[in-house]
Amino acid sequence: MRLLIIEDDRESADYLVKAFREVGYVADLASDGEEGLSLADSGDYDVLVVDRMLPKRDGLSLIGSLREKGNRTPVLILSALGQVDDRIKGLRAGGDDYLPKPYSFAELLARVEVLSRRHGGPAEETTYKVGDLELDRLSHRVARGKDELTLQPREFRLLEYLMKHAGQVVTRTMLLENVWDYHFDPQTNVIDVHISRLRSKIDKGFERPLLHTIRGAGYMIRDGIR
Amino acid sequence: MTAFGKLIRTTAFRLTLVYLFLFALFAASLLGYFAWNTRRLITEQITTTVNVEVSEISDIYARRGLRGLILSIGNRSLRPGANLYLVTTPSGQALAGNVGSLAPGVMATSGWSETAYRRLEDQDNTDHRALVRVTEMTNGFRLLIGRDLEERRRLFGIVAHAAQWSILVVVVLGIGGGIFVARRVLRRIDAMTGTTRRIMAGDLSGRLPVGRSGDELDRLAENLNAMLERIEALMMGLKEVSDNIAHDLKTPLTRLRNRAEEALASSGSEGEYRAALERTIEESDGLIRTFNALLMIARAESGQARGNMDDFDAADVANGIQELYEPLAEDDGMILHVKTAPARLHGNRELISQALANLVENAIKYGKPVPSAQPLGADAVAGTKEILIEARREGDQILLSVRDHGPGIPEGDRKHAMERFVRLEASRTLPGSGLGLSLASAVATLHGGELRLGDSYPGLIATLAIPALPAASDRLAAQTQDVPQKVA
């Protein structure tokens, strides 16, 4: 995967490039808005990671002119402005995701992966399948092997989101944002409790667990160990 | 500025000058009117007297001829008084009367005129003035009858004199009074200015002097004192908050630093390093959360979040939060219920959700029943493990409340509990930032409402009271009235 990081703070930019390279990504770096725009325009990137406040041209205007030119590369905005209205402004300007600083790299990585899949991946399917777990989005039926599972509506949406991103790490914040549509940061482990309930329904009594906890990052649904 | 300069610059003094001018003008015009009217009255009297005499004498002349006329004039001329008489021949020669000399040409024109004259018997050679009427009689004889104007002049002089004096008195009294009032006001203002200076210099406990008269300056001083009271309270609050911020941010920072240092100093295994680093990240995440909460409170308090408001139903928020927290409550051995009625409002949905989430988190954390307070049976204990989220409309307010059956908060502590970083005695040992209620309170204030903490016998009931959507929502509420209340 090819990434372009547009960030003016040298240290955090170097850290990001290094961290992305360690997980096997190709990461380019631009240190101001103008350079970022011309690189994003010429190169073929899977995801752009854009700091909101940049010299020469700010992040939002950069995204705006990219979108005007018809460039639809997914953009993740990084910003020190983390309030709900800042986020809405960022998404309205054409960003696909918004991550307030300071962030954890695990969170950033998970979001970048989801964004890159969304861009290149196939159209939304009507059924998801992970191992012997099957979810039908139209009939709202979930089955593991031959057993039909009964899920609450919210559990269904939680599982749906996890299965849509099967094989990818999904963070607690991503779940809260996408399944519950809340953008605040609960002080307690609400999401973990929901996950453990779901886990008890889909994994309990089965030999192979599908829903995994990824330490320090979040959760992932996948069949076996890759 | 000199003391006198200050004095004459006062509003009181300037007002005095304006009034002084107005009063002087009033006195002058009053006396002027009086003088003019007196003069007119006297002139009228003279005219009437003269006219009567003219007709009498004309009558005598008509009946008794020239001889009778001269006789009569002679008689009248001898009477004491101010009347003037003169009869002349057609050639202008004086025949009878008491007029010695006249201004030239007066006898030649018939009718009224004002003229200078001398009496025959007058010794001094001064001219007097008179109002006279000249009549031409048959055969060319001319008759002059008039009256001296000395009386009129004297009266006018008296009035003019009175006017001068009264204006002088008005001016002297006015300026004196003005200086007196201005000095009184100036003294009080100077006292206020002095106090204000002291306050500006940093002594916030200073208060303005308040007199007993209850006049406008006293009322102003009272209001300013009330304002100073408020400012002092705010400053104290600010100081407390910054002290708290310093404490609550420095403590975790110190812990963070200590752990890093400790890990560095000990020659541990990789696993130990890893654990230390993980704890470091955890600790810094906590710090970030505290920061975010502080920023959010500041934003809500300054009203910046007003841009993102729309209309929604608080019942949906209550249901959503109940759904999110229900498993967590159950894990903690509590039961989280929700009871909603339509309650539409205009606001920032995200912030209100977060405020309600904070209240629910508090209820789960602190709302556990106190064992000793439960002498009743097992059923009662089960009932008290309930937390109830309620959304409803009451009058023109939307009430979003969270009720638990825990130990509650003593009435005296409730206001204090909403302040930043305040963690009441009972909660100090549990994790938390002490910002939950502050944020909920700031969100309520942002929406023009308030956070109320009350007693739910036993336990705490925390209510976000927010103004409801007017009119349109009334109709909506009426339409959906028959929908049964949902109890989850």
Check whether A41 has a pLDDT greater than 50: yes
Give the N- to C-terminal CA distance of chain A in Å, as an integer: 19
Which residues are B336's β-sheet partners?
A: B387
Residue with tokens 């006293």: B218
The tokens describing A105, both together, are 């790299």
> What is the pLDDT, as a whole number, of residue A27?
86
Task: Select the more confidently predicted residue: B127 or A61.
Answer: A61
Q: How many helices (H) and strands (E) does chain A have?
A: 8, 12
Average pLDDT over residues B352-372: 82
Average pLDDT over residues B10-16: 81
Length of chain B: 488
Check whether A79 has a pLDDT greater than 60: yes
Percent of chain B at pLDDT > 90 equals 1
CA distance A170 to A147: 26
Average pLDDT over residues B172-194: 85
- Distance in Å, alpha carbon of B278 to nearest chain A alpha carbon: 8
Cis peptide before A102 (omega within 30 of 0): yes
Whether B320 and chain A come into contact, CB under 8 Å, resolves to yes
Whether A214 and chain B come into contact, CB under 8 Å, resolves to no
* Interchain CB distance below 8 Å, B354 and A184: yes
Whether A184 and chain B come into contact, CB under 8 Å, resolves to yes
> What is the pLDDT, as a whole number, of residue B48?
92
Check whether A43 has a pLDDT greater than 80: no
- Distance in Å, alpha carbon of A121 to nearest chain B alpha carbon: 31
Mean pLDDT, chain A, as a whole number?
84
Closest CA to B112 of B48, B36, B66, B38: B48
The tokens describing A85, both together, are 């209205």
Check whether B95 has a pLDDT greater than 70: yes
Closest CA to A77 of A61, A90, A64, A58: A90
> CB–CB of A140/A148 below 8 Å?
no
> What is the pLDDT, as a whole number, of residue B474?
47
The tokens describing A1, both together, are 């995967």
Average pLDDT over residues B461-471: 81
Give the N- to C-terminal CA distance of chain B in Å, as an integer: 77
> What is the pLDDT, as a whole number, of residue B232?
83
Residue of B nearest to A216 (CA): B278
Q: Looking at the partner chain, which of A84, A102, A186 has a beta carbon nearest the beta carbon of B308?
A: A84
Check whether B445 has a pLDDT greater than 60: yes
Check whether B475 has a pLDDT greater than 60: no
Check whether B7 has a pLDDT greater than 80: no
Percent of chain A at pLDDT > 90 equals 0
> CB–CB of B43/B50 below 8 Å?
no
> What is the pLDDT, as a whole number, of residue A204?
82
Task: Select the more confidently predicted residue: B40 or B234.
Answer: B40
SS3 label, residue B227:
helix
Check whether B484 has a pLDDT greater than 80: no
> CB–CB of B353/A182 below 8 Å?
yes
Average pLDDT over residues B201-224: 83
Question: Residue B396, Cα to own-chain centre: how many angstroms?
Answer: 30
Backbone angles phi, psi at B131, to 5 degrees: -105, 125
Residue of B nearest to A175 (CA): B324
SS3 label, residue A71:
coil
Mean pLDDT, chain B, as a whole number?
80
> What is the pLDDT, as a whole number, of residue B424?
59
Question: Residue B379, Cα to own-chain centre: how many angstroms?
Answer: 61
Contacts 24+ apart (CB under 8 A), B109-114: B109/B134, B110/B134, B110/B135, B110/B136, B112/B47, B114/B149
Residue with tokens 């509420």: B477
pLDDT in tens, A95-108: 888 888 888 888 88
Whether B354 and chain A come into contact, CB under 8 Å, resolves to yes
> What is the pLDDT, as a whole number, of residue B473?
44
> What is the pLDDT, as a whole number, of residue B453?
85
Average pLDDT over residues A216-222: 85
Task: Select the more confidently predicted residue: A184 or B341.
Answer: B341
The tokens describing B200, both together, are 């500006």
> CB–CB of A165/A114 below 8 Å?
yes
Whether A189 and chain B come into contact, CB under 8 Å, resolves to yes
pLDDT in tens, A183-214: 877 766 888 889 988 988 888 888 888 888 88
* Interchain CB distance below 8 Å, B350 and A182: yes
pLDDT in tens, B373-432: 444 544 445 457 888 898 888 888 888 889 888 777 777 777 777 776 666 555 555 556
Cβ neighbours of A85 in B, within 8 Å: 304-305, 307-308
pLDDT band at residue A82 using 50, 70 and 90 as cut-offs: low
Its ipTM equals 0.80
- Distance in Å, alpha carbon of B327 to nearest chain A alpha carbon: 6
Whether B288 and chain A come into contact, CB under 8 Å, resolves to yes
Q: Looking at the partner chain, which of B305, B323, B354 has a beta carbon nearest the beta carbon of A154?
A: B323
- Chains A, B: CB contacts within 8 A come to 64
> What is the pLDDT, as a whole number, of residue B486?
44
pLDDT in tens, B137-163: 877 888 888 888 888 888 888 888 888
